Amino acid sequence: MSLTRKTTLFFVTLASLVIIALMAIGLYSFRHIYLKSVENQAKTAAEIVRVYLTEAMLNGTIDKRKQFMDRLNAVHGLLSADLFRGPDVVAQHGPGLQSEQAQDAVTAQVIASGKPYFGLIERDGGYLFRASIPYKAQNEGTPNCLSCHKTRAGTVLGVISLHISVEEQRIEAAWTVGIVIAVISFFALGAAVFSLRTARPLIAIAGQVQETVDRASKGDYRGRIETDRNDELGQIAASMNRLMAHLSEGLTAISGKVAQLIRYNMPPITNLLDTTIEMVDCLGDVAAFKQAIEEDETTEEVYARLSRILREEFLVDHFSIYEVSHSKNRMQPVVVDGAPDQNCRWCDPQILLRADGCRAKRTGHPVDSVMTPDICTAFSTCGSLEGCRHVCIPVIQSGSVGSVVQLITDGVQAPLLQKMMPFIQVYLRESAPVLESKRLMDSLRENSLRDPMTGLHNRRFLQEYADTLTTYSDRKKSSFAVLMADMDYFKQVNDTYGHEAGDTTLKQLAMILRESTRASDLVIRYGGEEFLILLRDLGEEAAMATAEKIRDGVEKHRIQLAGAVINKTISIGVAIYPDDSTTFWQVVKYADVALYRAKEAGRNRVLHFQPEMWTEQDRY
């Protein structure tokens, strides 16, 4: 029900209740008043009769009382007046006239109780007022009742019973009440109409306030209250309009800044409040996300956290995250559908070997097949996802594409993905500098663990890797071989051909070592012309065979120098973990001792460590 109808109903109901209440009060009051008036009239008539009877007793004319009563009955409005004697008077003076002897129950009750009776009685479809008033003996004054009557003071000598018409009083009362009610009703209705007219501007403004607030609750703060009043209602409307304008301008500015910050193109008609809250919540989540990934140790942890965000926050089940290697022009899938280290699933595997085959990597711009189907030829298959679409977002690091995030969706969920894209891109933009920083740190760490000339791992790497290798071997209950290799007479190369020729010789030796070992083996430049080779999961026989292969390969290799071709040999010492020792560095020491013995035995040979090679001098 509208406020106008409620207000109208209230005032009409209030006026009706006032009229009904006044009618009830008026009717009760006027009934009481006219009954009291008739009662007083009856008392007056009774007093007149008493005075007459007293004088008649003194004057001896009591026998003429009938004529007096007949004249009294002729009074207008007095329908009847009858006298009745009490028992003591009857005993002293007899029963009296015939009319004085027909007592009814009311008269008998009044004589017995000595209390007057006043009441309305119904007769012939109308109402009469009945008054039966007792005369009591008094001994006060001269003369008094006891002068003529032989009785006690207070005894009921007789009763006068009067019947008085009340029709005229009722009619007059009805007219009076009617006029009063009519006047009051007129003023009550007038007051209600006036109050309603006075309340209408308030109702109208209240309706506009409700409409404005409803629009504001839906994010539309353009609602205004129209009024030309200069009173308090006008001030309320003006204040409400200022509030709405302030909210509209403030939220528009805030949402615009936040949208600019997250690069979100808001539609022209939108719920400003909900959209602003959504964007601010996103920024808060992104801030927490960035703090978390900054504290992560590796890029793999960052990718795993980003993967959880895509699955749990944005409900994307199918996606891939690729890492780009610019030096090799290759791409490596680091996360596929939430799982790390998986094979390429949604794209042509050729992009792994030639990164420029990925349109997002090549252009540095998002690739959206939702808006433009078949835009990228490298997208190969939908698999079991019917009608799938993809959006590939490049993650820019130092001006180039460092990673590519590929999101897969079906035709039904595509509009939702489009809506979430600005928020997903915020996470990716915040991830970019963190990923770049961690990749740089990984690169610096990798460089610190490699020999810059040969590209092999260095001795520092060996120190970090040693515990991992021994733990692996102990868990697998396998062995590994340590080969300590040293080029024979290397100093002659530097002295004869110069240090540049020496560097070339070491590089080619490093190449031979890599080619002669497996991908799972490690070749380390231990220092100068000395190299250490770790052969995983190999025993003595296989290790000796590999060492001999290396020695033979070096001996047969011709090293091309500027203006000369030289041939070099190499000596190798071999020790086995855990056969020779259960301590890694002791095994290295044994391999070094075997290498020393090979040098003493004439060089260009491979020797496996034997306990007798270990002398007291080697202990220090």
For residue 372, give the 3-state DSSP assignment: coil
> Which span out of 150-154, 411-415, 589-593 was modeled with the highest average pLDDT?
589-593
Q: Does residue 211 fall inside a structural domain?
A: no
Cis bond before residue 415 (omega within 30° of 0)? no
Q: Does residue 263 fall inside a structural domain?
A: no
Final residue before a domain boundary, out of 137, 171, 205: 171
CB neighbour list of residue 467: distance below 8 Å, 6 or more residues apart: 584
Write out pLDDT tens, residues 118-163.
888 877 767 788 888 888 877 776 667 766 777 787 788 788 888 8
298 CB neighbour count, 10 Å cutoff: 12
Verify that 373 and 488 share a domain, yes or no: no
Record the tokens describing residue 603, joined without a space.
Answer: 């060089």
DSSP-derived secondary structure letter, 358: S
Q: Is the pLDDT of residue 467 over 60?
A: yes
Yes or no: say if 179 and 207 are a contact pair by the CB < 8 Å rule. Answer: no
CB neighbour list of residue 256: distance below 8 Å, 6 or more residues apart: none
DSSP-derived secondary structure letter, 63: G
DSSP-derived secondary structure letter, 609: -
Backbone angles phi, psi at 28, to 5 degrees: -65, -45
Q: Does residue 128 fall inside a structural domain?
A: yes
Q: Report the alpha-carbon distance of residue 611 to residue 590 in Å, rounded.
A: 9
Verify that 415 and 481 share a domain, yes or no: no
Q: Does residue 400 fall inside a structural domain?
A: yes
Q: Report yes or no on whether pTM surpasses 0.85.
A: no
Helical ranges in 100-166 per DSSP H: 105-113
Verify that 478 and 426 share a domain, yes or no: no
Verify that 422 and 499 share a domain, yes or no: no
Verify that 431 and 472 share a domain, yes or no: no
Verify that 430 and 508 share a domain, yes or no: no
Report the chain's mean pLDDT, rounded to a whole number: 82
Verify that 497 and 602 share a domain, yes or no: yes
Q: Is the pLDDT of residue 365 over 70?
A: yes
For residue 474, what are the domain limits?
A: 457-619
Write out pLDDT tens, residues 553-588.
999 999 988 878 899 999 999 999 999 999 999 999
CA dihedral defined by 19, 22, 26, 27, rounded to 10 degrees?
60
What's the domain count of the chain? Answer: 3
Q: Does residue 236 fall inside a structural domain?
A: no
Pairing of strands 530-536, 480-487: antiparallel
Q: Does residue 274 fall inside a structural domain?
A: no
Verify that 404 and 466 share a domain, yes or no: no
CATH of the domain at 474: 3.30.70.270
Q: Does residue 258 fall inside a structural domain?
A: no
Q: What is the pLDDT of residue 189?
A: 74
Across 228-259, b (16+ Cβ under 10 Å) vs e yields eeeeebeebbeebbeebeeebeebeeebeebb
Q: Which of 298, 287, 292 is nearest to 440 (CA)?
A: 298
Yes or no: say if 162 and 38 are a contact pair by the CB < 8 Å rule. Answer: no
Q: Does residue 538 fall inside a structural domain?
A: yes
Q: Which of 548, 619, 537 is nearest to 577 (CA)?
A: 537
Angstrom CA distances, 191 to 7, 15, 18, 184, stand at: 14, 8, 11, 10
Q: Report the alpha-carbon distance of residue 344 to residue 352 in Å, rounded.
A: 8
Cis bond before residue 578 (omega within 30° of 0)? yes
Verify that 406 and 512 share a domain, yes or no: no
Final residue before a domain boundary, out of 426, 448, 470: 448
Angstrom CA distances, 69 to 62, 63, 75, 321, 572, stand at: 12, 12, 10, 128, 167
Verify that 366 and 463 share a domain, yes or no: no
CATH of the domain at 161: 3.30.450.20
Q: What is the pLDDT of residue 596?
A: 94
